A and B are shown apart, each in its own frame.
Chain A
Amino acid sequence: MLEHRPAVTRTRRKPWVWRCKISTRHGGQVYVIDIDGDIRSGGGVKIWCREPALVLEPVTGRPPHTFDDGSLCVNDRSPNDYEFIAFTAVPWLYSWLFFYEHWLDTGEWVGPQVAGHEVGRGPSATPEKKPPSAPKASRPPTPKRTRGEAA
């Protein structure tokens, strides 16, 4: 996460939580986001927007591409055990915010979406509570994990 300083700072260890104050462009809206790494329990990464309150989508009555618990869905899978959050979840988050802002301005989500879950299609019959976990891959050769740097 050092790569993203000073925008991202750690606020808690075990489970690991990072606080991000990021904007998608210089001079743009600054979002306060918490990334809950949840390494200890082995669960997926959770991303929460603390400030500002996200705008609700008229069709679903909730912000676009968010879960039931209000956390953001930045990808259709969490980073696996061997991927760095700094190089997966954080860039995905930037991308999510960029397309969220674009959606605010145009009413259209032009970022990549899972088929059948496009914004504006109306509520799905059975919304997922959690993205499917990444398949347990055979141990990749790189990178070496350092505690606190990867989920």
Chain B
Amino acid sequence: MLPLNDHFDGLLKNLNPPEDRQALAAKLPPIVRDHLEKSDLLATVEESPVSRLAGSYGRRTVSGDIHDVDIIVFVAESYRSKPVEEVLDDMTAALKDLEVEGYENGDVKTNRKQRRSCHVEFRHPGSNDPAFHIDVVPVIRPGDDPTAVLDIPDREWTRWVPTQPLGYGQRLSALNADWDGEVVPVIREFKQIKFHNMPKGRPKSYWSEVMVYHVFDEGLIPKTRYLGGSYNRPERMLQVLRAVLAKYGQNTAEGLDTPYVADPCLGHNIAFAWPKEDYLRWVKMLTGAISTIAAIENSSNREASIKAWQKVFGEDVFEVDEDEVAAKAARARAIATGAKIAGGAIVPAADAAKGIVVPSHRAYGHR
């Protein structure tokens, strides 16, 4: 399959959150974290860290805009013996007086039986629409290790239940490193396929992420070709789509439950609330995407290949970055006039002090 490197580079760049949103995501959470750490209204652990980033933003698996940023706050062990809603009440109180320059005071929301976190909305003065959201989640950390199993309020606010958000982040990082950085980009691309072809309905973004995680983690796709050559990005994406469909797309018959999408750390079904109607639409969408790509699997037709991928990802995101293409063209010209092999790669001769010079040569053969 044609690698379409320029397009896949452009795709990943286009899936980055807008720069202004990235700036907010970098700026606001530390303010909230510092505020809670200093507040007397909420008892937190004594030992650092008192809070951590979590969620897709924390794991760098965001695809598109940043809808919100999740922060977990390690509250004092003493909350375990109190009614769960007390910690949410204290956290709400502590966040009430949060002041951030340029924004009106955050509206703090804790909806009973809907959220197990405090939802902070930031509004610009005079605006009714929140400019940014932060979800602050209280957790109890049994030991010193923040990546171990933690306790989080259940949705009914009746008890503490286990969770391991940072443990999953750690596992994902390890898996990504083990696969030479292939996992996270594929997760982001897979989320985009769902978003483009099925903007409404479930699976939730996190379920999609976990499905891809399991495909890599369980070795449902080959790491390399037979002799050790690698797969290019379009080949990898098609493999993942097929593997996800094979693992999770077989429960369409009437009477069958929707598939079990296991929490990567704790093993429970995170997709237990997947409506069958949404599931059937998702399987149809996935099957359609696979058919579209399979049609150009063995094609060397560039235009047809680009068109097929644009259908799957969306024309607006699957496009080349002209600046990058121009930079690559300049690099190609530089390599054509003098290059070195340095660090296992070819670079323009001017870029490497050391390395093996590529002697002048001219390709010949049969064109």
> 1/0 per residue A89-127: CB within 8 Å of B?
011101111110110111101111110011111111001
Query: Any chain A CB within 8 A of the CB of B111?
Result: no
Asked if B365 contacts A128 (CB within 8 A), the reply is yes
Whether A26 lies near B364 (C-beta < 8 A) is: no
Q: Is B224 an interface residue (CB 8 A)?
A: yes
Q: Is B366 an interface residue, CB under 8 A from the partner? A: yes
CA distance A92 to B360 in the complex (A): 8
Q: Please tell me if the beta carbons of A112 and B336 are within 8 angstroms of each other in the complex.
A: yes
Number of interface residues of B (CB under 8 A): 43
Q: CB-nearest residue of chain B relative to A61?
A: B300
Q: Which residues of A contact B339 (CB under 8 A)?
A: 91, 94-95, 98
Contact A92 B367 (CB under 8 A): no
The B contact surface, by secondary structure, is loop
B residues lining the A interface (CB < 8 Å): 2-6, 180-181, 224-232, 300-302, 328-329, 332-333, 335-336, 339, 341, 343-346, 356-367
When the two chains form their complex, are residues A95 and B356 in contact, meaning their CB atoms are under 8 A apart? Answer: no
Encoded as 1 (CB less than 8 Å from any B CB) or 0, chain A from 1 to 14 comes to 00110010000000
- Once the chains are docked, how many angstroms separate the CA of A96 from the CA of B5? 17
Question: Contact: A105 with B333, CB < 8 Å?
Answer: no
Q: Which of A25, A107, A109 contacts B345 (CB 8 A)?
A: A25
Q: Which of A73, A98, A99, A101 meets B365, CB within 8 Å?
A: A73
Q: Does A149 contact B (CB under 8 A)?
A: no
Expressed in whole angstroms, the Cα–Cα distance for A23 and B328 within the complex equals 16
A117 and B5 contact, CB distance less than 8 A: no
Residues of chain B within 8 A of A86, CB atoms compared: 356
Please give me the residue from chain A that is nearest to B340 by CB atom: A91
- In contact, A73 and B366 (Cβ under 8 angstroms): yes
List B contacts of A94 (CB < 8 A): 339, 341, 345-346, 358
Chain A residues within 8 Å of B359, by CB: 87-88, 91-92
Q: How far is the CB of B311 from chain A (nearest CB, A)?
A: 20
Check A113 against B364 for contact (C-beta < 8 Å): yes
> What are 20 contact pairs spanning A and B, CB under 8 A?
A21-B228, A50-B229, A51-B225, A66-B366, A73-B363, A75-B364, A91-B358, A92-B358, A94-B339, A95-B346, A96-B363, A104-B3, A105-B4, A107-B302, A109-B363, A111-B335, A112-B363, A114-B362, A119-B367, A127-B365
- A143 to B28 alpha-carbon distance, docked (Å): 64
Given A31-B229, A57-B367, A95-B358, residue A105 in contact with residue B3 (CB < 8 A): yes
In the complex, besides A74-B361, A95-B335, A104-B3, 4 extra interface pairs with C-beta distance below 8 angstroms are: A29-B229, A67-B366, A98-B332, A113-B362
